[in-house]
Each structure stands twice: as C-alpha cells, then as structure tokens.
C-alpha cells in the first residue's frame, strides 16, 4: 500500500512538473505576444501620426492650389483689361494720326495761301 502511495505520489509529482513546464512555456509565449502587440501598437501610433501629417500637407497643398487658381484668374482678368486698354489706345492713336494728317493738310493749305 505504501508503495502504491509512493508510486501514485511520484506520478502526481511528474504530472505537476510537466504542467509547470507547460505553464512556463505558456507564460513565455504570452509575454512574447504582449511584446509583439506593444510593437504593433507603437507602429499603429506612428502610422496614425504620419497620416495626420500627410492630411495636413494635403490641406496645405489644396489651399496653395486654390490660391494659385485665384491668382491665375486675377491675371486673366488683368490681361483682359490690359487688352481692352490696348485696343482703346490703338483707336486713340488712329484718331490722333488722322487728326495729325488733317492738321498737316491744313497747315500745308495755310502755307500755300
């Protein structure tokens, strides 16, 4: 009977040692998983920060593009106004030339008289 108890106790100790070894392996695996999750969380935080920076840059580029469009529209408008003034100057020059020709003709007639 004592031998059976000793044998049973020995078997229980072996099982407990095996369970302890397995438990240690599970704890090591859990710690490794926790470290991996921390690395993943850190990476996600970096990605989130980079996305925020990209979003800010895109917003700035969008605003710059809008400013450029407004500037180009202003330049187009000024070009149109300049073109209109150039046409008015051309017409005024033609009128001035005609007046100068008329004046030259009158002066020539006056000298001839």
Mean per-residue pLDDT pooled into runs of 10, the chain (113 residues): 70 73 86 97 98 98 98 98 98 97 92 76
C-alpha to C-alpha distance for 102 and 109, rounded to whole angstroms: 11
Looking at residue 20, what is its pLDDT?
78
Question: How many whole angstroms from its chain centre is CA 48?
Answer: 14
Domain extents in the chain = 1-83
Looking at residue 112, what is its pLDDT?
76
SS3 1: coil
Structure pTM? 0.56
Looking at residue 6, what is its pLDDT?
65
């Amino acid at each position: 009977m004592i031998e059976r108890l000793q044998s049973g106790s020995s078997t229980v100790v072996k099982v407990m040692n095996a369970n302890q070894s397995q438990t240690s392996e599970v704890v090591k695996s859990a710690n490794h998983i926790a470290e991996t999750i921390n690395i993943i969380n850190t990476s996600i935080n970096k990605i989130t920060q980079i996305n925020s920076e990209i979003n800010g840059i895109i917003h700035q580029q969008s605003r710059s593009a809008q400013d450029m469009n407004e500037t180009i529209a202003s330049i187009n408008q000024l070009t149109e106004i300049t073109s209109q003034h150039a046409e008015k100057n051309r017409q005024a020059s033609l009128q001035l030339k005609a007046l100068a020709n008329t004046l030259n003709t009158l002066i020539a007639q006056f000298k001839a008289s």
